[in-house]
């Protein structure tokens, strides 16, 4: 445990900034205590009774002072090019974001292949290709050069980047990387390219084995079907330079093979591995991963999983293109979907058109699961997994089954399409439904998040921004799990958001409030912290739309000693840095 200077006194020394009379929650699960905190430059220099005057003083007045939050699963790789503040993550206390998840990155790249990587990111993460190509400088080939370019953009929050399997494979194999397996020589080349990327500052390597992540032409992205031999060879090169590993694994029948592969990766690399771990029940009330994880831990392997602290999923409403019906074979719903979102409310004011939409919906069926929806020729939302988020300022994410669209419609004596349309009218087109497809059951999540190998996250900031908005997960953890239901103490909740996350990245100078640590800090009104309803805006390059989600209760957010957020609003200060692999 890092030393906290609770009894430290300053005499006449001036400091750059002093936070006065805060409730210090240090990130290590130490009992919260009242103290001042002094910062000089980018570093915490004193915690305790600080008598020396600060050039600037922040009166916490009993507000909670925590380390900045760490988000281990984002896709802000593109957005950082035109939005260096990296909204919406910065509105929720995040001071360090990990990019390069899911194997899709913009480096390494040959000049002739830049559009291929942009198209791949668009297809997998739903980020407009035009925005990617026009919004980034693309003045790099190697991953190290990419990090240099990101550094020159001067971000507001810290960024750590992983090199992606798909990019590295395409860099070596070109078009063959999509459907063919590499030769032994090519495996060695891919491993060398990835190893050099980590040596040049990438904090790790990410791979993606989900069949659902595809190229624009429908083929799986490079690396999806990579052999164990290839992945292990790359992992060994990553471990040689102290980098971490990240994996998005396929579930279902393949999950045990995926866990076995991760074990091989860790044995070869002797490093840290992070995998996406949605709650999936296994034996004896444990998750499907637990037995394999325990075996890895008993062998001294550093395995970590990340899971959403609430249900995650698509948002359905007039603001998005996720309507009752998605397929073009349904003419009325096709017309509504092709209508400008700003004009859809006017269109459904027509009672005859609403009647047409309802009659069409009555001919459709809900698919058996969200993964089958796009393949269904007459797709309708899975009504029992679709929940109204309310019309209050705070979105309602925790509705019980009797609050599903199916149950609401049944209670009102309506078809679900009628209920959907009625609520769109009543909310003046601003209302949203949440379609849950990950972590649908909240009950097991507290116990799951308490596992020593689990960290909360997977907010996917920067990705799927037209249809998904899970970026406020940090605010949800504090507002719901800590404040509303008291499942986690403030010390436990802050630990989950800070030190536990920083350890996965191997960052020894962040995630804890202590002398000598970097000054990534939040000053919070914990009784006010929460998410606001997602809102559609058109601020991406070319006017492309996205959903943003504000947070409230954040008095101040500091990054490397600079105040980037004050009273929930950005200050314009850019305190972030590219955090390169600390092992090199």
Q: Using 50, 70 and 90 to split pLDDT, how confident is the model at 4?
A: very low
DSSP 8-state class, residue 478:
I
User: What is the Cα gyration radius of the chain?
Assistant: 24
Question: Interior CA angle at 247 toward 217 and 96, to 5°?
Answer: 105
Under 8 Å between Cβ of 37 and 18: yes
Residue 222 has pLDDT above 60, yes or no: yes
Q: Do 486 and 388 belong to one domain?
A: no
Q: Mean pLDDT throughout 189-214?
A: 97
What does DSSP assign to residue 455? E
Q: How confident is the model at residue 8 (pLDDT cuts 50, 70, 90)?
A: very low
E strands, 196-249, in order:
204-208, 244-248
CA angle, 144 as apex, 509 and 457 as ends, to 5°? 50
Per DSSP, the three-state class of 149 is helix
* Pairing of β 530-531 and β 551-552: antiparallel
Both tokens assigned to 509: 């100078």
In a domain, 317, yes or no: yes
pLDDT value of position 325: 83
**Looking at the domain assignment, is residue 401 inside a domain?**
yes
pLDDT at 64 over 60: yes
182 and 162, same structural domain?
yes
> Which tokens is 301 given?
């392997």
Cα separation of 123 and 113, whole Å? 15
Contact criterion met (CB below 8 Å) for 420 and 389:
no
**Tens digit of pLDDT for each residue in 196-206?**
999 999 999 99
The confidence band for 314, taking pLDDT boundaries of 50, 70 and 90, is: very high
* Averaged pLDDT, 176-185: 98
Average pLDDT of span 217-226: 97
Query: What pLDDT is stored for residue 73 in this prediction?
Result: 98
Categorize the per-residue pLDDT at 330 as very low, low, confident or very high, splitting at 50, 70 and 90: confident
Cα distances from 472 to residues 89, 224, 451, 476, in angstroms, run 7, 29, 22, 6
Residues ≥6 apart with Cβ < 8 Å to 265: 231, 232, 235, 245, 247, 273
Is 464 part of a structural domain of the chain?
A: yes
Q: Report pLDDT for 376.
A: 44
- Among 266, 215, 280, 193, residue whose Cα is nearest residue 236: 266
How far apart, in Å, are the Cα atoms of 114 and each of 110, 129, 137, 151, 477?
Answer: 7, 11, 11, 20, 38
Same-domain status, 433 and 451? no
In a domain, 202, yes or no: yes
pLDDT score recorded for residue 177: 98
Region 27-46: what's the mean pLDDT? 98
Say if residue 378's pLDDT is above 90: no
Q: From CA 405, how far away is CA 414, in angstroms rounded?
A: 10
How many secondary structure helices (H) and strands (E) does the chain include? 17, 25
CA distance 302 to 267: 10
Q: Provide the β-strand partners of residue 160.
A: 98
Q: Are residues 279 and 422 in the same domain?
A: no
Nearest-5° Cα angle at 438, 432 to 444: 115
Q: What average pLDDT does the chain have? A: 95
What's the rounded Cα separation, in Å, for the pair 272 and 506?
Answer: 8
Residue 483 belongs to some domain of the structure: yes
Range 95-106 average pLDDT? 98
- Residue 534: give its domain's CATH number: 3.20.20.140
Which percentage of the chain shows pLDDT scores above 70? Answer: 95
Question: 372 and 492: one domain?
Answer: no
Clarify whether residues 413 and 323 are in a common domain: yes
Both tokens assigned to 583: 């092992």
Is residue 297 a part of any domain in this protein?
Answer: yes
Instruction: Give the closest residue to 45 by CA, choosing from 11, 10, 69.
Output: 10
Asked if 379 and 268 sit in the same domain, the reply is: no
Whether the predicted pLDDT of 554 surpasses 80: yes
pLDDT tier at 321, thresholds 50, 70, 90 = very high
Dihedral, CA of residue 397, residue 398, residue 402 and residue 405, to nearest 10: 10
Q: Can you tell me the distance from the alpha carbon of 170 to that of 116, in angstroms, rounded to the nearest whole number?
A: 9
pLDDT of residue 206: 98
498 within a domain of the structure (yes/no): yes
- For residues 220 and 356, state if they share a domain: no
Q: Is residue 484 situated within a structural domain?
A: yes
Instruction: Give me the pLDDT at residue 452, please.
Output: 98
- Could you report the per-residue pLDDT of 426-456, keeping only the tens digit for each? 999 999 999 999 999 999 999 999 999 999 9
pLDDT at site 428: 98
- Residues 394 and 451 placed together within one structural domain of the fold: no
Q: How far apart are CA 230 and CA 184, in angstroms?
A: 9
Query: Which residue has tokens 């092709």?
Result: 338
Task: Give the chain's domain count.
Answer: 2
What pLDDT does 372 receive?
Answer: 41
| Ordered DSSP codes for 530-570 | EE---EEE--SGGG--EEE--EE-EEEEEETTEEEEETTEE
* CB atoms closer than 10 angstroms to residue 33: 14
If asked whether residues 183 and 274 sit together in one domain, one would say yes
Say how many residues make up the chain: 584
**Domain boundary residue among 438, 463, 486?**
438
Buried b (16+ CB within 10 A) or exposed e, 68-95: bbbbbbbbbbbbbbebbbbbbbbbbbbb
Q: Are residues 277 and 331 in the same domain?
A: no
| Peptide bond preceding 88 in cis form (omega within 30 of 0) | yes
Return the top range by mean pLDDT from 328-342, 348-362, 377-391.
348-362
Indicate if the alpha-carbon torsion angle 485, 488, 490, 495 is positive or negative.
negative
Domain that holds residue 538: 69-310+445-505+512-570
Give CA–CA dist 479/79, Å, rounded: 27
Which pLDDT band holds residue 367 (cuts at 50, 70, 90)?
low
- pLDDT per residue as tens digits for the range 567-582: 999 999 999 999 999 9
Mean pLDDT of 493-508: 98
Prior bond of 108 cis (ω within 30°): yes
CA distance 294 to 289: 9
Pick from 384, 410, 438: which residue ends a domain? 438
Q: How far apart are CA 524 and CA 139, in angstroms?
A: 39
Residue 365 in this model has a pLDDT that exceeds 90: no
259 shares its domain with 132: yes
Structure tokens at 359: 């009659």
| Domain termination residue (choose one: 438, 456, 476) | 438
Say if CB 201 and CB 581 are below 8 A apart: yes
Closest CA to 287 of 264, 256, 326, 316: 256
Asked if pLDDT for residue 214 goes beyond 90, the answer is: yes
């Amino acid at each position: 445990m890092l030393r906290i200077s609770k009894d430290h006194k300053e005499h006449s020394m001036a400091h750059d900034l002093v936070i006065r009379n805060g409730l210090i929650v240090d990130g290590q699960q130490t009992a919260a205590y009242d103290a001042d905190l002094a910062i000089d430059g980018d570093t915490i220099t004193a915690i305790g009774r600080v008598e020396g005057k600060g050039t600037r003083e922040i009166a916490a007045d009993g507000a909670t002072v925590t380390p900045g939050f760490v988000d281990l699963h984002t896709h802000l790789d593109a957005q950082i090019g035109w939005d260096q503040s990296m909204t919406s993550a910065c509105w929720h206390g995040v001071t360090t974001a990990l990019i390069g998840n899911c194997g899709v990155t913009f480096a390494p790249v040959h000049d002739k292949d830049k559009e291929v990587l942009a198209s791949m990111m668009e297809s997998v993460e739903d980020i407009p290709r035009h925005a990617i190509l026009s919004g980034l400088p693309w003045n790099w080939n190697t991953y190290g050069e990419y990090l240099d370019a990101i550094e020159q953009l001067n971000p507001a929050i810290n960024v750590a980047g992983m090199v992606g399997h798909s990019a590295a494979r395409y860099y070596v194999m070109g078009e063959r990387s999509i459907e063919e397996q590499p030769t032994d020589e090519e495996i060695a080349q891919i491993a060398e390219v990835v190893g050099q990327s980590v040596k040049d500052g990438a904090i790790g390597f990410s791979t993606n084995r989900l069949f659902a992540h595809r190229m624009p032409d429908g083929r799986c992205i490079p690396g999806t079907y990579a052999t164990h031999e290839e992945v292990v060879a790359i992992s060994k090169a990553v471990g040689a330079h102290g980098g971490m590993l990240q994996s998005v694994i396929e579930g279902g029948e393949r999950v045990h093979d995926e866990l076995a592969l991760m074990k091989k990766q860790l044995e070869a690399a002797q490093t840290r591995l992070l995998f996406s771990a949605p709650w999936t029940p296994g034996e004896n009330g444990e998750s499907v991963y637990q037995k394999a994880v325990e075996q890895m831990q008993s062998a001294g392997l550093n395995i970590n999983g990340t899971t959403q602290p609430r249900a995650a999923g698509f948002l359905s409403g007039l603001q998005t293109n996720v309507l009752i019906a998605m397929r073009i074979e349904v003419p009325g719903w096709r017309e509504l979907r092709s209508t400008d979102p700003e004009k859809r409310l006017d269109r459904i004011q027509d009672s005859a058109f609403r009647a047409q939409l309802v009659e069409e919906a009555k001919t459709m069926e809900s698919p058996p699961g969200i993964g089958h929806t796009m393949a269904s020729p007459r797709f309708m939302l899975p009504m029992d997994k679709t929940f109204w988020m309310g019309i209050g300022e705070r979105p309602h994410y925790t509705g019980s089954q009797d609050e599903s669209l199916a149950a609401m419609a049944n209670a009102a004596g309506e078809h679900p399409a009628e209920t959907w349309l009625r609520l769109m009218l009543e909310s003046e087109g601003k209302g949203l439904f949440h379609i849950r497809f990950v972590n649908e059951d909240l009950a097991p999540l507290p116990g799951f998040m308490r596992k020593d190998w689990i960290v909360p996250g997977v907010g996917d900031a920067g990705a799927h921004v037209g249809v998904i908005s899970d970026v406020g997960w940090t605010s949800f953890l504090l507002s719901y799990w800590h404040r509303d239901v008291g499942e986690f103490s403030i010390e436990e909740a802050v630990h989950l958001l800070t030190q536990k996350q920083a350890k996965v990245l191997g960052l020894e100078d962040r995630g804890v409030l202590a002398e000598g640590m970097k000054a990534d800090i939040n000053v919070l009104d914990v009784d006010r912290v929460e998410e606001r309803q997602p809102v559609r805006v058109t601020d991406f390059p070319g006017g492309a739309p996205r959903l943003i989600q504000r947070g409230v209760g954040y008095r101040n957010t500091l990054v490397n000693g600079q105040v980037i957020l004050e009273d929930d609003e950005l200050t314009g200060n850019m305190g972030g840095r590219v955090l390169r692999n600390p092992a090199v």
